[in-house]
Amino acid sequence: MSKFRNLLIGTTLVTLAASPVMAEKLGLGRAALPEEVAAWNLDVSPDGTGLPEGSGSVLDGEEVFADNCAICHGDFAEGVDNWPKLAGGMDTLNHKDPLKTVGSYWPYLSTAFDYVHRSMPFGSAQTMSADDTYAIVAYILYSNDLVDEDFVLSKDNFLEVEMPNADGFIVDDREEAEKHFWTEPCMENCKPEPVKITMKAAVLDVTPDEED
């Protein structure tokens, strides 16, 4: 298996070194330390797997958010200029221009925890503690009118929070559901007469002429 992989991708030193066997042979790199793996292994799943111990209140979250996030996302998570809005947009998903926020769109709260803990504040990622992250996520829920101001989010009650759009995503079943639309594509001698190319676009010749 690993021989096969080396054969397939072994065209550069970097990819060669990615294989532990070759790394040893070339004397490059070392195995990652357990704490290095732990530092990267942050993912939190919808079923709560990966949530760290901790908790945080809406009120604490309001403060942490004001200090670290509000400059871009607004005091109430409503967004500043073109920075993303994290709150609002309820019942807009079927509009022509829907506002997709953590509250209106995200199906899992775990994504908010994972995302904030992993990648925000923009430019200073991974500076928020677990407790601060619980508090921030609680505050984002509050900004979306999903919890009261005395709410405290923790590892223990995390899965009890109901996200409004939790049922808004479906598994892509087109392979089955739309199978009857599909036909074998014709690859040769598909049309008897010579094929004519016709112009169909409403506006033709849109390439600007060169200015002189």
Nearer to ligand HEC among residue 10 and residue 121 (C-beta):
121
CB 130 within 8 A of CB 54: yes
- How many C-beta neighbours within 10 Å does residue 99 have? 17
Residue facing ligand HEC at closest CB distance: 69
At position 204, the amino acid (one-letter code) is L
Output 5-12 pairs: Cβ under 8 A, ≥24 positions apart: none
Nearer to ligand HEC among residue 22 and residue 61 (C-beta):
61
Give dist(CA 83, CA 29) in Å, integer: 39
Q: Is 109 in the site for ligand HEC (CB under 6 A)?
A: no
Cis bond before residue 121 (omega within 30° of 0): yes
- Span from 1-9, 20-28, 111-119, 141-149 in contact with ligand HEC (CB under 6 A): 111-119
Give dist(CA 112, CA 77) in Å, integer: 13
Q: Is 153 in the site for ligand HEC (CB under 6 A)?
A: no
Q: Is 69 in the site for ligand HEC (CB under 6 A)?
A: yes
Residue in 22, 102, 135, 138 binding ligand HEC, rule: CB under 6 A: 102
Q: Is 164 in the site for ligand HEC (CB under 6 A)?
A: no
- Span from 41-49, 66-74, 155-163, 187-195 in contact with ligand HEC (CB under 6 A): 66-74
At position 200, the amino acid (one-letter code) is K
Q: Is 58 in the site for ligand HEC (CB under 6 A)?
A: no
CB 72 within 8 A of CB 133: no
- Span from 24-32, 79-87, 153-161, 183-191 in contact with ligand HEC (CB under 6 A): 79-87
- Span from 21-29, 71-79, 178-186, 203-211 in contact with ligand HEC (CB under 6 A): 71-79
Closest by Cα among 110, 121, 133 to 61: 133
Structure tokens at 54: 């901790």
Q: Is 87 in the site for ligand HEC (CB under 6 A)?
A: no
Q: Is 121 in the site for ligand HEC (CB under 6 A)?
A: yes
- Rg of the chain (C-alpha set): 26
Q: Which residues bind ligand HEC (CB under 6 A)?
A: 68-69, 71-73, 83-84, 86, 101-102, 112, 115-116, 120-123, 128, 136
